[in-house]
Amino acid sequence: MPDEIEVPHDQPLTQIHRASIDAAVRLLASSREGLNNNEALRRISEFGRNSIEVKQRFRALKSLFKQFRNFFTILLNASAVICFVADRVQPGESMNILGWALLGVSGLNAIFSFIQEFRAEKAMAALKKFLPALVKVRRDSIEAEVEAEFLVPGDIILISEGDKIPADARVLNCNDLLVSNAPLTGESKPISLTAEPSEQSLTDSHNVALAGCSVLRGSGEALVYATGLRTEFGKIAQLSQGIQRTASPLEKETGKMVRILTYIAVTMGVLFFLYGVFNGRPLWVNLVFMMGIIVANVPEGLLPTFTLSLAMGSLRMAKKNVLVKSLNAVEAMGAVHVICTDKTGTLTLNQLTITRIASGRSEDEVEVREERNHILKHALTASDLKQTAAGFVGDPLDIAIGKKISQDPSSSLAHWSEGIRKHFPFDVYQRSAAGIHAADGQTCFSVKGAWESIRPKLAAIDGRPNVPLDAALADADKVVKQLASQGLRVIAVAHCTIEQFDPARKRDEYATGLTLAGFLGIEDPLRPEVPPAVQKCHDAGLGIILITGDHPDTALAIARKAGIVSHSADNVVVTGDQLKELRQQQLMDRLEEGVSIFARTTPEQKMKIVSALQALGKVTAMTGDGVNDAPALKTADVGIAMGKEGTDVARESAQIILLDDNFASIVAGIEEGRTIFNNIKKFTNYVLVSNGPEILPYIMYILFPIPLALTVIQILSIDLGTDIIPSMALGQEPPEPDTMKRKPRERTEGLLTFRLMAHSYLFLGLLEAIWSMSLFFYVLVSHGWHYGNVMSSTDGVYRSATGIALSTILLMQIGNLLGRRYRKGTGLNLGIFRNKLMFLGIIIQVVFSWAVLYFPPLQVVLQTGPVDLHVYLLAWLGVPLIFGFDLLRKQFLSQKV
């Protein structure tokens, strides 16, 4: 029973990784025999199951409810209710049909958004794959397999090669235990675990096994100290699930636009309703009127068109190797101010290449073949390389060494690997890997790794027998510095002769009195398409921030080669240690000063950088590939995961997946995103123009004793009918030539600006309204109508008049459509047929403008009637009229600029 444990209390209170084994066991009130089953059950009820899933009650319901909270949906639903009331008050006016139509539009919008948002949480499924289902545990001195979910703090688990670690645990004893912490730290090098107390931080200490990681070799037993969401892995899971992506710029813009349009619609509707009431009009007439003015003001088709436009944009992006998971990310890419990018694989090819073999004397390439081979053979001894039919298999550095050797098939090194007896994998604390080679009666120990870790163990340097060691080391230091300043990752290679290979001896026992063979200069070549892409970013006013775990000199060198910073740039690098000490405000200051490289950083620090950039008001895109990148990918405005090298967890957490892991594809995606925003602006402008001729008849109807020129059904036929295809066509327009020459738009720059609204409502909208109303009155007057005459809605003349008003609006929308294509010129020279959807849209407008007047079934539905041909031809005059006036405006503005 844990209650009866009696262990010596000889240590001050300390954390579990710093404590001795006995103290650690005592901290968890456990024993080496394990908990008993009753205690384990009790702890399950106290701490819950070892599960990383965050249960959210009523998630689907909440999500669905949220869709009905936006202004647009509330407005449509409220309007529908008014329609049903109006139908009850005055039946026979088909107001109930309108009510159902409005409910339908609102329901479709809400369901569409709900489906978008409530996708199955795939990131969680991907995370779960890292945890085992069963685990071997010791309870009451009996070892048995239990479901990993039932582990509790204080349990003793037994782990061995191939196991996944189920919970965070303190190692109690181990036998050559080697684990991969890659899912958590992103560090691909395996780590040897020990049971000794550690002075490092909890997660960095080498006596803890972390949940989600895997055992590569050896075996051991460990004391569980954290389960479920309390594990480091659980925290990542919770962050990944808990962080709600901030609304994309487009979501905010559309929210704002809907709010403004709703205010306008409701205010106008209510004001004129009251006006009608005070003027003694019947209540139902006022209700119908209010409905009309609200329906006329709300562009019902705009939000579905947004979605369609984004969907088509995502297809175009996919052709550029940018796979979009969330539609809002399509436009968010265009709003990006800063790209935070990885180095390896994104800017570089992720193909390590040895571009320099240097001695300890000089940074120059070693020319003597024997000396080169001498360095390479010791590097090969310290490598774990396998040759298959497909090529070399192993660590990228080891592969680079293998490739370098294979470039010279006649070399004496071809069969060297046959003599390798033992490999010591890379040790993250010693920052080196080693091996033992035995052949022809000679056995040698070779080591390769960071210069700082090998230097203290050196007793000599090859080729410098007569130089004092201190002086030779100082020269070697200079060589290392020179190579690093050239952007090369420097690997030192050393060796010593040993008497005999003894498999029982530990690595440290060999690694003394080493002789430096030389250095390997490693480079991961820059992707050739990166410098032009970076230049494009600079032209487009985009900031690029390089975040890497590499040495600052290496990071700076690659940033210079890529053009991220100029060759004279100074004070642009911040290391992970410096970053740790910076307050958010200080980091924001450094970012504003131009810091654009973060070196020796951990993946966790990405979130700090993103938060600081967002606090500066920057829309940030962040790349990532590891499990521990998932929270940062969700925090960023646009999370970009790597399709080739990334983990499933990163891919599921991101909005965008780069299929080729290439930086240039991000830039292509941004260009597409900007184009989409421009196009959205164009079709918003287009759609709002028709609001003018839809609103004016209602205002005139309430103010003057004249018939209503446009019915609610006719308005809906424009907003939800003929305007949709032309809007989609504008959403497909290609990028304008200066798209990537303009600075990114500010977060505060709205989609619905005053200028756009004035242009839509007060200029083009008014033109359409005047011309359509003129023809409406022309038909009425030519058939004997006098000012003040009341007309029945079934009157043939009235039907012909409303028909021509509708037809004129439809035709004038063609002129409006052509004028929206290009901000400056006519755009006619670029051809209508190049955009097939636009051509189709125009055909629909033309056919519909004819059909509303002359096609009987449509006449019945829309309550319209025919007009004389010359009147219809007059309606066609509206096309050049609106196009011409708008062209004059463009020319006037361009002259002014």
In angstroms, give the least distance from the CB of 836 to other proteins: 37
For residues 565 and 543, give the distance between their C-alpha atoms in angstroms, rounded to a whole number: 10
- In sequence order, which residues have a C-beta less than 8 Å from that of residue 118 and are 6 or more positions away? 59, 60, 63, 64
Q: DSSP state, 629?
A: G
For residues 20 and 36, give the distance between their C-alpha atoms in angstroms, rounded to a whole number: 23
Candidates 12, 705, 784, 788; binder of other proteins (CB under 8 A) is 12
For residues 638 and 322, give the distance between their C-alpha atoms in angstroms, rounded to a whole number: 12
Should residue 16 be labelled a site residue for other proteins when binding is judged by CB under 8 A?
A: yes
Quickly tell me which residue has 């609106």 as its tokens.
Answer: 882
Q: DSSP state, 348?
A: B
Should residue 230 be labelled a site residue for other proteins when binding is judged by CB under 8 A?
A: yes
- In sequence order, which residues have a C-beta less than 8 Å from that of residue 234 and are 6 or more positions away? 52, 211, 226, 227, 228
For residues 152 and 47, give the distance between their C-alpha atoms in angstroms, rounded to a whole number: 7
Should residue 170 be labelled a site residue for other proteins when binding is judged by CB under 8 A?
A: yes
Could you tell me the sign of the dihedral formed by the alpha carbons of 779, 780, 785, 788, in that order?
Answer: negative
Tell me the two tokens of residue 874.
Answer: 């007059």
Should residue 238 be labelled a site residue for other proteins when binding is judged by CB under 8 A?
A: yes
For residues 223 and 246, give the distance between their C-alpha atoms in angstroms, rounded to a whole number: 39
Pick the stretch among 312-320, 494-502, 544-552, 577-585 that binds other proteins (CB under 8 A).
577-585
In angstroms, give the least distance from the CB of 301 to other proteins: 22
In angstroms, give the least distance from the CB of 224 to other proteins: 10
Considering the complex, state which of residue 210 and residue 492 has its C-beta at the smaller distance from other proteins.
210
For residues 414 and 344, give the distance between their C-alpha atoms in angstroms, rounded to a whole number: 30
Neighbours of 762 (CB within 10 A): 11
Considering the complex, state which of residue 43 and residue 374 has its C-beta at the smaller distance from other proteins.
43
Considering the complex, state which of residue 230 and residue 320 has its C-beta at the smaller distance from other proteins.
230
Candidates 32, 122, 128, 252; binder of other proteins (CB under 8 A) is 252
Considering the complex, state which of residue 3 and residue 470 has its C-beta at the smaller distance from other proteins.
3
In angstroms, give the least distance from the CB of 550 to other proteins: 23
Rg (CA), the chain: 36
Should residue 786 be labelled a site residue for other proteins when binding is judged by CB under 8 A?
A: no
Considering the complex, state which of residue 201 and residue 407 has its C-beta at the smaller distance from other proteins.
201
Neighbours of 584 (CB within 10 A): 11
Q: In what side-by-side order are the strands of the sheet with 597-599?
A: 322-324, 656-658, 638-642, 620-624, 338-341, 543-547, 597-599, 573-575
Candidates 21, 50, 71, 210; binder of other proteins (CB under 8 A) is 71
Should residue 218 be labelled a site residue for other proteins when binding is judged by CB under 8 A?
A: no
Number of helices (H), then strands (E), in the chain: 35, 24
Should residue 3 be labelled a site residue for other proteins when binding is judged by CB under 8 A?
A: yes
Considering the complex, state which of residue 19 and residue 473 has its C-beta at the smaller distance from other proteins.
19
Should residue 49 be labelled a site residue for other proteins when binding is judged by CB under 8 A?
A: no
Site for other proteins in 341-400 (CB under 8 A): none
Should residue 247 be labelled a site residue for other proteins when binding is judged by CB under 8 A?
A: yes
For residues 788 and 71, give the distance between their C-alpha atoms in angstroms, rounded to a whole number: 38
Should residue 235 be labelled a site residue for other proteins when binding is judged by CB under 8 A?
A: yes
For residues 661 and 691, give the distance between their C-alpha atoms in angstroms, rounded to a whole number: 45
Quickly tell me which residue has 């190797």 as its tokens.
Answer: 321
Candidates 255, 394, 531, 721; binder of other proteins (CB under 8 A) is 255
Candidates 594, 617, 796, 825; binder of other proteins (CB under 8 A) is 617
Should residue 239 be labelled a site residue for other proteins when binding is judged by CB under 8 A?
A: yes
Candidates 104, 242, 282, 884; binder of other proteins (CB under 8 A) is 242
In angstroms, give the least distance from the CB of 620 to other proteins: 15
Bridge-based pairing of strands 208-209 and 214-226 is: unpaired
Should residue 649 be labelled a site residue for other proteins when binding is judged by CB under 8 A?
A: no
Residue at 277: amino acid letter: V
Should residue 37 be labelled a site residue for other proteins when binding is judged by CB under 8 A?
A: no
Should residue 604 be labelled a site residue for other proteins when binding is judged by CB under 8 A?
A: yes
For residues 569 and 538, give the distance between their C-alpha atoms in angstroms, rounded to a whole number: 15
Should residue 581 be labelled a site residue for other proteins when binding is judged by CB under 8 A?
A: yes
Pick the stretch among 45-53, 173-181, 466-474, 812-820 that binds other proteins (CB under 8 A).
45-53
- In sequence order, which residues have a C-beta less than 8 Å from that of residue 568 and are 6 or more positions away? none
In angstroms, give the least distance from the CB of 394 to other proteins: 34
Angle between helices 663-689 and 765-782 (to 10 degrees): 30
Candidates 407, 500, 748, 829; binder of other proteins (CB under 8 A) is 748
Should residue 47 be labelled a site residue for other proteins when binding is judged by CB under 8 A?
A: yes
In angstroms, give the least distance from the CB of 239 to other proteins: 5
Should residue 124 be labelled a site residue for other proteins when binding is judged by CB under 8 A?
A: no
Beta strands in 79-188 (DSSP E): 134-139, 142-147, 156-160, 168-180
Candidates 46, 470, 499, 577; binder of other proteins (CB under 8 A) is 46
| Contact of 515 with 495, CB cutoff 8 Å | yes
Candidates 64, 89, 103, 243; binder of other proteins (CB under 8 A) is 243
Q: Which helix (H) or strand (E) holds 254?
A: helix 249-278
Tell me the two tokens of residue 95.
Answer: 């107001």
Should residue 698 be labelled a site residue for other proteins when binding is judged by CB under 8 A?
A: no
Residue at 757: amino acid letter: M
Should residue 458 be labelled a site residue for other proteins when binding is judged by CB under 8 A?
A: no
Pick the stretch among 65-73, 189-197, 416-424, 721-729 that binds other proteins (CB under 8 A).
65-73
Residue at 613: amino acid letter: L
Candidates 512, 584, 792, 894; binder of other proteins (CB under 8 A) is 584
Should residue 568 be labelled a site residue for other proteins when binding is judged by CB under 8 A?
A: no
- In sequence order, which residues have a C-beta less than 8 Å from that of residue 635 and are 6 or more positions away? 243, 607, 610, 611, 614, 622
Should residue 29 be labelled a site residue for other proteins when binding is judged by CB under 8 A?
A: yes
Candidates 21, 25, 27, 340; binder of other proteins (CB under 8 A) is 27
Among 625, 500, 473, 79, which Cα is nearest to 300's?
Answer: 79
- Per the rule left: phi > 0, alpha: psi between -120 and 50, beta: everything else, 172 is alpha
Candidates 32, 54, 422, 763; binder of other proteins (CB under 8 A) is 54
For residues 462 and 472, give the distance between their C-alpha atoms in angstroms, rounded to a whole number: 10
Should residue 421 be labelled a site residue for other proteins when binding is judged by CB under 8 A?
A: no
Size of the site for other proteins (CB under 8 A): 59
Should residue 153 be labelled a site residue for other proteins when binding is judged by CB under 8 A?
A: yes
In angstroms, give the least distance from the CB of 585 to other proteins: 8
In angstroms, give the least distance from the CB of 648 to other proteins: 21
The binding site for other proteins (CB under 8 A) comprises 2-4, 9-17, 19, 26-29, 43, 45-48, 54, 69-71, 153, 168, 170, 202, 225-226, 229-230, 234-235, 238-239, 242-243, 247, 251-252, 255-256, 259, 580-581, 583-584, 604, 607, 611, 615, 617, 631, 635, 747-748
